[in-house]
Structure 1
């Protein structure tokens, strides 16, 4: 919102946010668009429309593993202004601030809870192709 590091893609904002932590663009997964209306229409064309969120709306979650969260307000703000074409406007006026609160839970609330086991995935997706029974 300060105009520093502005880029027209949230993915780029997220990439810049994780670089100081020794991560790269390859570590940035698909964005999670909270409070945004985007998608594909019946012709498989991408669409965006104005955000329905109101001041005070929030998302609360419990992280079962350690997380590094990178946040970006959408460079298009609440998507209520056209960003391309002859009617394009600067979306900075419709960018809204993000607030983050991190809670330290009382140990009694976590009594009996266990962290999930690490997935057995070995990281070789598509690099080592196992033969199907009918190929052997």
Structure 2
């Protein structure tokens, strides 16, 4: 499988379990790796045979800035599903959600949640 990687998509979201996180918002970032076969697109130099990552990036930022959720797990799942819904060509997606200003009481650099979602094909186990 080939990969298209979007790294460091950033936006302010209102996700978290604390009232202040929902009220004030905070920065979030995404890294997304799309797993797909790009041979057809390369052979024909054809955007329709791959994934328009510019349009997808805009959609993913709307997930970050959209309806608040309590858990990073929920946010990552929504991002992953949006990617899989974008194109049937995507076989799997890896999503990293970064929450660099998480409300921790100790020094830290970043909080990350990493998920992988694989397209389920009827009759085939991933």
TM over 0.5: no
Q: Structure with the greater relative contact order (CA < 8 A, sep ≥ 6): 1 or 2?
A: 2
Q: TM-score, with normalisation over the residues of structure 1?
A: 0.31
Q: TM-score, with normalisation over the residues of structure 2?
A: 0.32
Q: Mark the structure with the bigger radius of gyration.
A: 1
- Comparing both structures, which one devotes a greater share of its residues to strand? 2
- Comparing both structures, which one devotes a greater share of its residues to helix? 2
